[in-house]
Chain A
Amino acid sequence: MRSFISSFERIRKIRTVPLQPWVRVLAVGVVAAVVMLGGWEMTARAAGYVPSIRDTPDLWAMSRDRVKRHDDGKVLVITGASRIRFGLDHDIMSEAFGGLPVVNLAMDGGVVRPVLHDLAQDEGFRGIVICDYVPNLFWMPGGPLLEESASWVEKYPRRTLSGRFGQQIAVRIEGMLAFLNNDLTLGKLIETRVKLPNRDGVMLPPEFPPFLAVNRLDRREVMWEKLEKDPAFQDRIKGIWQGLFSMATALPPELVGKMRAEVAADVKAIRDRGGDVIFVRFPSTGWLREWENETAPREAHWEPLLQETGCLGIHFEDYPELGGFDCPEWSHLSGADAEKFSRGLARIVREKYKGNE
């Protein structure tokens, strides 16, 4: 019989510890790493970056959990795309709805329909949904943005224990360090700082915006100071919006009708359980507003949506206190304007909503 030990002995011969003053090697290595990371943190802060929680499917899921946590299902869900995350103050809205806890399920660049469908399918949900209406995103019939939004929703019930625990640690660290910003990841740094001339005819994907807002643990976003104040940065983002939104085209009415019917069915399911949905059209300005009006005209999309769902809809063009804001990069409200807009919206909702009840 071959020796029980021989196989192990072969590994023992290979797996030797190299001769080095190991404790010194470790100590110097760790100190050097801490010094370098400290320097990197200072560099990030000097460039204007501040700690911001990274918006990931796991963070979204933490918010989604909060819907489940309220046994009576009475929560105020904010959903849609980034405009509502920039533009709506949670505390003001909570107050407007008699102190209902606010859960933010909006996604930057997100298509809201999968989220509405998810809430409609959730038998425990009996709350109110404030739904951000960004015309070109709301009616997106397919493509990567819709797939991404749907994947966040689908991932929610499939989270692992390890992932949930890791997310709890991650948000604590991200809340302290500015360099943990998406703009400053190694991949992004190579992509944005090493710009070599491209070959003729290369098909490049559209550019997505860099860091625009500070994200809080409750997923409320507040516009980054640099975006509020730096005209050159604002112009850069306007260029990005032009590239991205130009891809949207007018949709065939039958396709919009099909999507509208799906939304109406989801709204009905929520209402049948005692909940409700309110659509809100946030301000946009400049070229972007013109483009949105052209590709998704209000009378062809917004009005029929309200008609078919029977929901309360609040369009910024219809209320003086919601209009007149100047979005620094055409698409989002600044921090100060968001508060004003929220107060105006809260007042309107209080009046209108009570009337509709």
Chain B
Amino acid sequence: MLFNSLTFVVFFVVVLVLYQFPTPWKLRKGFLLLASYVFYAAWNPPLVLLLWLSTLIDWYCGKWLGRTADPMKRRLLLGASLVSNFGLLAYFKYGEFVLENFTVLMNNMGVPFEPAPWSIILPVGISFYTFQTVTYTFDIYRRQLSPVKSFLDFALYVTFFPQLVAGPIVRASQFLPQCVEPKRVAADQMCWGLLLLTLGMFQKIVVADVLLSKVANDVFGAADRLSTLDAWTGVLAFSGQIFSDFAGYSTCAIGTALCLGFLIPNNFRFPYAAIGFSDFWQRWHITLSSWLRDYLYIPLGGNRRGVVRTYINLMLIMLIGGLWHGAAWTFVVWGGLHGLYLIGERLGKRALGHLAFFQTGLAEILLILLTNFLVCVAWVFFRAESFACAWRLIRSMFGFSGESVKILTTTSIATVLLVYGLIMLAHWIMRHTTHEALVEDTPWWLVSIIWAFMIVAIVIAQGGGDAFIYFQF
């Protein structure tokens, strides 16, 4: 079920009303679990079975991990959890990719090989809930978490509908403590949750879908080489679209969870005002980057084993992060570029970081623009359907396209530049603050008016109910 659908509006109203009934907490949690299964099944009912499988595996692995102190058994149990979870992810998400590459390899080696067509559906949100559930067994294995006693709480953690299909990736230690005490949602919290839900929908429906997506689709879908202005407009449109789409989903998820009394972590902190790439990855998809840091980068040695090993670890993490987004080499290149950016930033800091210029406001602005420029170059590989498309666009962006065509109207270009400029400005202003602080410092009537405008814009935007981009990941 999509947040930006009429079905969700009805579903959420029904859930909110029934959830408020003064029934025992266990019953209310059971109701939330049932609602979460309905939310997921509304997309494709049989795929709920995978969720159940993942829940059962990690529940039992966690339980048995808590009972044994034998290091070998503990390693086996963690291995069972990781292999089964990542095995399902690998089969459903990467099976076709592996098969395609194997076919190309065989054919290049002169071995004729023609596989049967791959017709496996990618379960929505599998990358998110897989990464989420393994934090449970991993943290128990590392003795940072005790197994939870209630199966209901654990099942709700795996399935909680606000963040189930596109994050934020919530850790067991962040969610499970919240299941202990009954939730009474105060009117203030409910209203704030609804405002966040509206803001998320505004980002998705108005900014991403209506104002930016068409230009991005036209430019990335163009068969010809484009003029430099058209190419950059398309890339900026996608840059704004993917932020508004994904941050919009996360904001909806946070707002929805708040209305139900649950707190889930931030996923974005105004990333287009990042100064450098370490800063960018502390602001973009925070729950994924912190997951990769805590469950992969640090176990691999992090930065504790010398400079070269640190760089290798960084690159490895970013390549895996790229592949997490999609089963295609273009995503790997996107991750690889970010790995290079991170390494380059470290080298640059070491060589030039002591210069007084880098402490000035001008340097800050220039570094924000440089970071954003490089982020946009990387987005080309993220969005392009193929390397041919990516190269065509890169050449167009840097004026190497030779004969080129213009496909965008002046109105489209002006709209994208205005919207992207406003996004950058908003991120710059909000760089050191939060939504909460901003709203608290704003007169109440202005909050009301802005809220009303967002509702009106959402209604008259009448988006076509496009799925969130991150659903496919």
Contacts and interface: CB of A to CB of B under 8 A. Distances in A.
A, B in one complex: yes
Interface of A: 1-2, 4-8, 11-12, 14-26, 28-30, 32-33, 36-37, 40, 56, 160-163, 165-166, 169-170, 173, 179-180, 184-187, 189-191, 194-199, 201-204
B39 to A, nearest CB: 9
A15 B410 CA distance: 42
B463 to A, nearest CB: 8
| Most A-side CB within 10 Å, residue of B210, B409, B415 | B409
Contacts of B452: 28-30, 32-33, 36
B455 A29 contact: yes
Given A1-B143, A8-B177, A203 B407 contact: yes
A11 B411 contact: no
A187 B263 CA distance: 35
B422 interface: no
B374 to A, nearest CB: 28
Interface in B424-473: 434, 436-437, 439-440, 444-445, 447-449, 451-453, 455-457, 459-462, 464-465
Contacts of A2: 144
Nearest to B465: A166
A202 B408 contact: yes
* Interface range, B side: 35 or more
Most-contacted residue by chain A among B42, B174, B195, B448 (CB, 10 A): B448
19 contacts: A7-B174, A14-B434, A15-B436, A17-B188, A17-B192, A18-B437, A23-B187, A24-B444, A25-B451, A26-B195, A28-B448, A37-B459, A40-B460, A161-B43, A162-B43, A169-B6, A186-B461, A186-B462, A187-B210
B51 interface: no
B68 interface: no
A19 B188 CA distance: 9
A25 B444 contact: yes
A94 B201 CA distance: 44
B409 A198 contact: yes
Chief secondary structure at chain B's binding surface: helix
Given A4-B145, A22-B187, A28-B448, A11 B174 contact: yes
Contacts of B7: 162-163, 165-166, 169
Nearest to B188: A22
Contacts of A203: 405-407
B414 interface: yes
Given A23-B187, A33-B456, A203-B407, A166 B266 contact: no
Given A8-B173, A29-B449, 18 more contacts: A2-B144, A4-B146, A4-B177, A8-B175, A17-B189, A19-B440, A25-B447, A28-B452, A37-B460, A162-B1, A162-B42, A163-B7, A169-B10, A186-B206, A186-B210, A196-B414, A198-B409, A203-B407
Contact of B440 (A18, A56, A160, A173): A18
A37 B455 CA distance: 9
B146 to A, nearest CB: 6
B401 interface: no
A199 B408 CA distance: 9
Interface in B325-342: none
Nearest to B214: A187
B178 interface: yes
Most A-side CB within 10 Å, residue of B175, B410, B462: B462
Nearest to A161: B42
Nearest to A56: B464
Interface in B23-52: 41-45
Contact of B174 (A8, A28, A169, A185): A8
Nearest to A20: B444
Interface of B: 1-2, 5-8, 10, 41-45, 143-146, 171, 173-178, 186-189, 191-192, 194-195, 206, 210-211, 214, 254, 258, 263-266, 405-411, 414-415, 434, 436-437, 439-440, 444-445, 447-449, 451-453, 455-457, 459-462, 464-465
Contacts of A15: 254, 258, 263-264, 436
Nearest to B2: A162
B6 A11 contact: no
B336 to A, nearest CB: 31
Contacts of B266: 14
Query: Most chain-B CB neighbours within 10 Å: which of A11, A21, A24?
Result: A11
A356 B365 CA distance: 80
Per CB-CB distance, the 3 closest pairs between chain A and chain B, nearest first, are A32-B452, A29-B451, A22-B191
Contacts of A19: 440
A17 B372 CA distance: 31
A232 to B, nearest CB: 23
A321 B42 CA distance: 51
B460 A179 contact: yes
A32 B409 contact: no
B457 A186 contact: yes
A173 B187 CA distance: 29
Which residue, A25, A36, A173, A201, has most C-beta atoms of chain B within 10 A? A25
A161 B46 CA distance: 12
Contacts of B265: 11, 14
A89 B278 CA distance: 65
B125 to A, nearest CB: 14
A185 B462 contact: yes
Contacts of A173: 6
A20 B263 contact: no
Contacts of B254: 15
A127 B42 CA distance: 32
